[in-house]
Amino acid sequence: MKIVVTGTRGIPNVMGGVETHCEELFPRIAAMGEDVTLIRRASYVSDGLTEWKGVKLVDIATPKKKSFEAIVHTFRAINKAKRLGAEVLHVHAIGPALLVPYARLLGMKVVFTHHGPDYDRDKWGKAAKMILKLGERMGCMFANDVIVISDVIKNLIARKYGRTEHVHLIYNGVPSPEICDYPEYFEELGIEKGKYILGMCRFVPEKNLHHLVSAFAEIKKLKNEKIKGLKLVLAGDTDFEDEYSRGLKEMARKNGVVLTGFIKGRKLHSLLTNCCCYCLPSSHEGLPIALLEAMSYKVPVVVSDIPANLEVGLPKEDYFPCGDVKALAEKLKEVVSKPLKKVDYDMGKYDWDKIARQVMEVYKGLKG
């Protein structure tokens, strides 16, 4: 089966939830003997790769401008997919889904993965939100099959578009943890094992990292031996430097927060292995891969009580009211004041091998 993938910036080692999803999923699909081509945005990659872990890579030039790069890239990617003889076009995210009807007109079978209602993200203006909502509608109305990554999204598209058939709930996954130490990196950052809170995500408004920095500033004022020397580490960055990301970085520096930039591999794995807890205070998520990744390392987590985070099914004490900085500070204080512990989460439904098999079943169903 000839499968072509679009809607992602690219793989490997490109920042973003959809990118991480594709990086894990499609090598597994290719390993099943399928012909998989993933079309990347040339402005995000400079590795010169034409194949990675069995997935063919095609780079297409796209203007790096957040307001229209996705739609321009998707249009060009669909035309390329047609020339490649795609039997299945797999479109990721609601922005690129705007062109699902166009792909259908060209005679391709289309699978659309809905990763979350991106129009709820604070970074988008009124016009962009309208386009994203239209993209969601086009994907849900015209794709042959729709994959959703959470029950929240499944219920949303049933309510808004009456789409209940050929809709498949397939969760995001998480790879096996790579437990490791990296003393030299910790020395470079000025942190100690077990003495830092980890935040790991993109620097965009809806992640509420400014709330995490404010909560950390409150904790530092406390006269508590357990909190003495505690650090906050923010691992991540932004695709487009803007007023928010610049303000966040300045706020972080003023409060002694450690900024790592975008990292992968051993650096990230060592931070996940040795943090005292992971925090995700966001106001919007689809199904957060970063949270699942932290859980796979068995670290305590503190997360906002938005529907996507609640769906993960953590104990009640792991949640705090979204946007409540005082409650977040109290929750973090409780966690860091206790002895370090590992938590055994049930990660069974987030197994990438199982997820790849489920996606293959969707592809096979298109032949019927």
pLDDT at residue 70 in the model: 87
Say which residue the tokens 């450690």 belong to. Answer: 258
Task: State the sign of the Cα–Cα–Cα–Cα dihedral 347, 352, 354, 358.
Answer: positive
pLDDT at residue 253 in the model: 95
User: Which three-class secondary structure state does DSSP give residue 167?
Assistant: strand
**Which ranges of the chain have pLDDT less than 50?**
none
pTM score of the predicted model: 0.84
Q: Which of 201, 192, 196, 236 is nearest to 332 (CA)?
A: 196
pLDDT at residue 4 in the model: 98
CA dist 319 and 127 (Å) reads 33
pLDDT at residue 155 in the model: 94
Instruction: For each of the domains in the chain, give its residue range(s) and CATH number, in order of start.
Output: 2-173+351-365 (3.40.50.2000), 183-348 (3.40.50.2000)
pLDDT at residue 15 in the model: 84
DSSP annotation string for 309-328: HHHT---GGGEE-TT-HHHH
pLDDT at residue 33 in the model: 96
Task: State the sign of the Cα–Cα–Cα–Cα dihedral 124, 125, 129, 135.
Answer: negative
pLDDT at residue 67 in the model: 65
How many CB atoms are closer than 10 A to CB 26? 26
CA dist 262 and 216 (Å) reads 21
Tens digit of each residue's pLDDT (9 = 90 or more) over 264-323: 899 999 999 999 999 999 998 878 889 999 999 999 999 999 998 999 999 999 999 999
